[in-house]
Amino acid sequence: MLPETKAVTDMWLTIAGMALVTFLPRVIPLLLLPGMKMPNIAERWLSLISPAILSALLFPALLIGENAAGEPVLSLLNIHLFAAIPSIAVAWKTKSLFCAVVTGIATAALLRFFW
């Protein structure tokens, strides 16, 4: 066990380190890239980051569960995947982000109640 003061210093150092390695990737491209001449293919690639990263974040939230040992496994029978269906329908139909979110929350709550 570390002495108390060293542990606290380590904690602050760790928080500062986390802040730095999070801040720099967020800010450096915004500072360097505007005004830079970019090849057309890079511009096209950047324009596709949005759909690619959104689904890279969404798909695991819908499809990945945990087994008894806490390891990630493919899960097709889970509340999130079922709640996604009405959310997709409402997002498609109304084009409203707010309606999609409220539908998703309500469906997830209902499913959890009856599951």
Partner 1 sequence: MRRNSQTTNSGGGLRFFGGMPPSPVLRGVKMAVPIMLGYAPIGAAYGLLAQQAGFGMLHALCLSVFVYAGAAQFMAVSLFAAGMGFPVIVGTTFVVNFRHVLMSASLSRFLSSWTKSERVIFGGMITDESFAIHSRNFERGDTATNAALALNTAAYLTWVIFGMIGFHMGTLIKRPEAWGLDFALPAMFIGLLLPACQNAPSVIAAIFGGAVSVTLHLAGAGNWAAFIGAIAGAAAGVCFRRPKP
Q: Per CB under 8 A, does 66 bind partner 1?
A: no
Q: Which residue type, as a one-letter code, is found at position 50? A: S
Residue 63 makes contact with partner 1 by CB under 8 A: yes
Q: Rounded to the nearest whole angstrom, what is the least distance from the CB of residue 35 to partner 1 in the complex?
A: 5
49 binds partner 1 (CB under 8 A): yes
Q: Please give the Cα distance from 80 to 111 (Å, whole number).
A: 9
Residues contacting partner 1: total by CB under 8 A: 77
| DSSP per-residue letters across 57-95 | HHHHHHHEEE-TTS-EEE-SS-HHHHHHHHHHHHHHHH-
Q: Which of 4, 5, 26, 67: binder of partner 1 (CB under 8 A)?
A: 26
Indicate whether 96 belongs to the interface with partner 1 (CB under 8 A). Answer: yes
